[in-house]
Chain A
C-alpha cells in the first residue's frame, strides 16, 4: 500500500523503534517454532545458566556495544526478545558449528546450551523456512500469453548514478534513451535512482557547471532535474512503461529515509507512461512478481563466516539467501553508514558523516516481503559488480551502475521472459495452479550501458 510510505520523516521515537526490533524476533519465533514442530515451552531463555539444551530465537548483535566495523566469530552475541529473555544479550560460542554465515541484525534460531552463565554454546543453527512462491491460475496465465502475443516480455533495468563523479553530463543517458527507442524496445523499463545524487562531489562544493543547452540556468537542484533530466526522460517512447524508484540519495526526494515515498511525477514533469513507485516496492507485470529495493544491502551486509563450505560459495548467493530467509529487503541492523576522515579545527582526526542506509526504524515493516510470498525476481542495485543469479529459484539481479564514477560506461540489464505456456514443461502444475518458474523462462543479459 503506497499510502503507508507517505509518513513524515525525521520523527523517530526510540520506543517505536524498539517495538519493531522486538516484534521482528517474536514473528520469527513463531515461524521457527512452527517449522520445527516445537512447543512454546521448548523456546527458552539463552541468557540463563541451565543444565539442559534449549531452543531460542533472537537477533545477532555484536558482543560489545562499542563494536563498529569488523566482527568475528568470537565477538557475537544474541539478543532476546522481551518475552523470551527480557531483552538480555548473551555471548555466542560457535565452536561446535562447522559452517556458518551470520550478520548483525539477523534473526536467528539456535539450539544449544548455556552451561556456565557466560556464553551460549550453539549446537545447531535452525533453518528458517522460505516463504512460498507466487502461483497463478490457468486464466491469468492465458491472459498474459494473449497480452504478449506469445512473444517474450522484455524488461530493461538501469540504476544510477547516471553521470560521472566529476561532471553533471547526462549525454550518455540521452544516448541510451535513443537506443531504448530505436533498438532495445523493451515493454518495461525499470529505472532506479539516484538520477541526481545529493552526495555528488560537485554538489558538496557548490561547483555546479553551466548547462549550455539552457537559456536560463537552474536555481535549485530540483530545477536541474526538471530542466535537464526530465526532457531526456520524456523522449522515451510513450508506449514503453517506465517504472521509477527513488534512492535516499536522490536530490528530488524530500523523503530522505528508507522506506521511502515515491517521487512526485507531476512536480518533476514526467509523462503518463512513467509510474513512480516507492522504495522498496513489489509489483506485478502480467503474472510475474517483481521485488525492488534501492538500498545497497549487497555492500552493507557484512557476514561473519566460518567453514570451508561457506567460503566456496559465491558471496552474492549467500547474501541473497539471507535476504530471502529474513523476508526483508534490508535485514542489516544497524544500517550501513559512510563516513570520511577529516581533521577538526585543532588538527584532531574526526569522522564526517556522508550518507547511510537511513533506516526509519518504526516503518521497517514496509520493507518486508509483501503478501507472504517471495517475489519471482528481486532487483537490488549495488555499487558492487553487476550480477544476475538464480538463488533458491529466485532471480536476483544487480544491474550495476549506469555510469562508473570515473565516467566509464557502466551496465544495465535486459531480461527476456518467455510468455507462460501451460503446455510447456517449464511450468509446474500444483493442484489447479501453476508455479511461474521464472528462472526457467528467463534470459538475463548484463550489457554495457
Chain B
C-alpha cells in the first residue's frame, strides 16, 4: 500500500530504480524474426544502432521507422489491454488469490475467511512507469547521458562484451534523431491520455466548494 509508507519523491529517484519492475521492450526483426530486447543506444549482442537506424545483428537488416514504431505501439497497447484485463491479487501471502472477479467492496478478498486486501495486479502506477520506460528508451538526452536502465546485469550470459564509447553514443543519437523523436511521440500519444500523469486539482480542492 504505497500511499501509507514513506517514499522518496517520484522525481528524485533514478530511472534504474523507477523502472525496476518495467519489462524490456522486445522488438522482432521483420526480416529474420529474431526477437531481442531494445535498450536504447547501448551495446547488445542482438542489435546495433547504426547511422541509418536499428540494425539486426543476426541478419544485418536495418529496420525502417514504421517497422520500429508499429511494434512500439503494439507493445504499448498490449500493456494497456493487460491492465484493463483487471487482474486483482490478494496481499495475504498465505492466500495469494489471483482473479478477475471483484467484490462489491473492491478490496475485500473473496476467499472464505481471508482478511487480505485485494489490489490490481497490474497497477496504474506500474503501467505509467512502464510507458515512461518506453519513452526513456527514445529520449535522446537520456541516451546521450547514458542514464538508461541497463538491459543486462553483469554476469548475464547475454551481456555484451564491451559498452559503446561515449563518442559513439553521442554521434549515433544525433544521427538517429528523427527515428527516436518519432518513436517517442508514439509513446507520448498514450501518455497524454494516461490519468496517472495528471493530477485532478478539482477533486483535491473539492472540500473548498460548499
Q: Is the CB of B104 within 8 A of A353?
A: no
Q: A22-B104, A206-B68, A353-B78 are in contact. Are A358 and B194 (CB under 8 A)?
A: no
Which residues of the other chain, A, contact B198 by a CB distance below 8 angstroms?
A: 8
Q: Check: B55 CB closer than 8 A to any chain A CB.
A: no
Q: Which of chain B's residues has its CB closest to A59's CB? A: B104
The answer to whether B186 and A220 have CB atoms under 8 Å apart is yes
Comparing A34-42, A81-89, A138-146, A277-285, the segment that makes contact with chain B is A81-89
Q: How far is the CA of A207 from the CA of B61 in the complex (A)?
A: 12
Report how far A10 CA is from B132 CA in the complex, Å. 13
* A231 CB, nearest partner CB in chain B, Å: 18
Flag if A18 contacts B105 (CB, 8 Å). yes
Question: In the complex the two chains form, what is the Cα distance from A405 to B82 in whole Å?
Answer: 24
In chain B, positions 155-210 with a C-beta closer than 8 Å to chain A are 182, 185-186, 189-190, 192-198
- Interface residue total, chain B, C-beta cutoff 8 A: 58
Q: Which of A119-127, A253-261, A299-307, A370-378 contacts B (4 or more CB under 8 A)?
A: A253-261
- Contact between A337 and B66 (Cβ–Cβ < 8 Å)? no
The distance in angstroms between the C-alpha atoms of A14 and B103, with both chains bound, is 10
Which listed residue, B68, B81, B110, B182, touches A353 by the CB 8 Å rule? Answer: B81
Q: Tell me if A217 counts as interface (CB < 8 A to partner B).
A: yes
A248-266 CB contacts (< 8 Å) to partner B: 248, 251, 254-257
Q: Are B102 and A10 interface neighbours, CB within 8 A?
A: no
Please report the C-alpha to C-alpha distance between residue A156 and residue B15 in the assembled complex, in whole angstroms: 52
Tell yes or no: B50 within 8 A of A by CB: no
- CB-contact partner of B102 in A18, A66, A337, under 8 A: A18
B192 nearest CB neighbor, chain A only: A254
Beta-carbon contacts of B79-92 to A below 8 Å, as 1s and 0s?
A: 01111111010000
Minimal beta-carbon separation of B2 from chain A (angstroms): 13
Q: How far, in whole Å, are A95 and B145 apart by their CA atoms in the complex?
A: 69
Closest 8 CB pairs of A and B: A11-B195, A18-B106, A8-B195, A334-B100, A22-B104, A358-B84, A219-B65, A206-B67
Q: Which residues of A pack against B, CB within 8 Å?
A: 7-12, 14-15, 17-19, 21-22, 25, 61-62, 65-66, 68, 79-82, 87, 89, 198-199, 203-208, 217-224, 248, 251, 254-257, 334-335, 337, 353-361
